[in-house]
Amino acid sequence: ATPTSIMVGTGRAAELGVLFRKGQALQTLRNTKVVALDKTGTLTKGQPELTDLTVTAGFDKSQVLAQVAAVEQHSEHPIAQAIVAEAKAQQLNIIGPQAFKSLSGLGVCAEVGGQKVEVGADRYLVKLGYELSALSQQAEQLAQQGKSPLYAAIDGKLAAIIAVADPIKEGTPEAITALHQLGLKVAMITGDNKHTAQAIAKQLGIDEVVAEVMPNGKVAALKKLRKQYGAVAFVGDGINDAPALAEANVGLAIGTGTDIAIEAAEVVLMSGDLRAVPNALAISQATLRNIR
Ligand code: ADP
Ligand code: MG
Rounded to 10 degrees, the C-alpha dihedral 81/84/90/91 comes to: -130
CB of 34 closer than 8 Å to CB of 229: yes
Across the chain, what does the average pLDDT equal?
Answer: 95
Ligand nearest to the CA of 75: 1
| Ligand 1 atom closest to the CA of 77, numbered from 1 | 23
The predicted structure's pLDDT at residue 286: 87
ipTM of the complex: 0.96
Task: Using the predicted structure, report yes or no on whether residue 127 has a pLDDT greater than 50.
Answer: yes
Decide: residue 52, CB within 10 A, 0-12 exposed, 13-18 middle, 19+ buried: middle
Cα–Cα distance between 252 and 70 in angstroms, integer? Answer: 35
The whole-number pLDDT of residue 216 equals 87
* Residues 253/267, Cβ–Cβ less than 8 Å: yes
Question: 235 and 277 in contact (C-beta within 8 Å)?
Answer: yes
Map out the domains of the chain as residue ranges.
3-45+168-290, 49-165
Q: How many Å lie between the centroid of ligand 1 and the Cα of residue 150?
A: 9
Name the pTM for this structure: 0.93
Confidence of residue 292 (pLDDT cuts 50, 70, 90): very low
- Return the pLDDT at 250: 97
Percent of the chain residues past pLDDT 90, beyond the cut: 86
38 is catalytic: yes
Q: Is the pLDDT of residue 275 over 80?
A: yes
Residue 43 in this model has a pLDDT that exceeds 70: yes
Each residue's pLDDT tens digit, 54-101: 999 999 999 999 999 999 999 989 999 999 999 999 999 999 999 999
Strand order in 267-269's β-sheet? 18-20, 267-269, 250-254, 232-236, 34-38, 185-189, 208-210
List pLDDT tens digits, range 212-265.
999 889 999 999 999 999 999 999 999 989 999 999 999 999 998 899 999 999
What pLDDT, on the 0 to 100 scale, is given for residue 22?
Answer: 83
Residue closest via CA to ligand 1's atom 20 equals 107
Superfamily of 3-45+168-290 according to CATH: HAD superfamily/HAD-like (3.40.50.1000)
Burial, 172: exposed, middle or buried (Cβ in 10 Å; 0-12, 13-18, 19+)? buried
pLDDT band at 5 (very low <50, low <70, confident <90, very high): confident
Q: Which helix (H) or strand (E) holds 283?
A: helix 276-290
Confidence at 290, pLDDT banded by 50, 70, 90: low
Nearest protein CA to atom 19 of ligand 1, as residue: 107
Superfamily of domain 49-165 in CATH is Calcium-transporting ATPase, cytoplasmic domain N (3.40.1110.10)
